[in-house]
Amino acid sequence: MRANQLTLGRAFALAFDDGDDFVKELTGFCAEHQIRQAIIPMFLGGFRQVGLVGADGPLQDPEAPVWEETVLETVEAVGAGTLAWSPDTDSLAPHLHVAVGRKDLNAVGSVSHLLWAKVQFIQEMMLQEVIEPTMLRPKCGPHGVPTLTFAPSPLASPPS
């Protein structure tokens, strides 16, 4: 396990509009406000379409990550995540998970990693910038999974 005390910066409330590309708008907002790392304690609202990590059938290797995508339509969603910098791609690397309920199937649910989404009506998000430590998301381990790591902080005092 890795752990680090966070120094938090600015806090934002975001309201995404009908038809917005959720991840594109989020990463664009972060670029505009020079946010390279943050925590997202929650977001909620509707998605017209959403791409989630998920396989249609048995997993070939239950110990390996799933890279397949499943697409759902017309869902209500609640989620959370972190934003860190990817040294592999030199770009912002969102890690977002959602629980969604399909409106057309009695709110039957799915929970997974969010790949992309198109907003339906509204999505509301709380975003808290992280100042310290530097949060990175390099690809790690035998499967090359982007994993949250912390760079040493020049402001950190040595352990006593």
**Fold for the domain defined by 9-130:** 60s Ribosomal Protein L30; Chain: A; (3.30.1330)
pTM here? 0.90
For residue 26, give the nearest of 109, 107, 123, 111 by alpha carbon.
Answer: 123
Instruction: Identify the three-state secondary structure at position 25.
Output: helix
User: pLDDT digits over 75-134, tens only?
Assistant: 999 999 999 999 999 999 999 999 999 999 999 999 999 999 999 999 999 999 999 999
Kindly report the length of the chain: 160
Residue 29 sits at φ, ψ, to 5 deg, of -60, -45
Under the banding of pLDDT at 50, 70 and 90, the label for residue 2 is confident
Evaluate if residue 152 carries a pLDDT over 90.
no
Residue 157 has what DSSP assignment?
P
Distance between CA atoms of residues 70 and 54, nearest Å: 5
Strands (E), 20-90: 38-53, 69-86
Separation in Å, CA 109 to CA 75, 78, 94, 98, 123: 9, 11, 22, 10, 18
| Residue spans per domain, the chain | 9-130
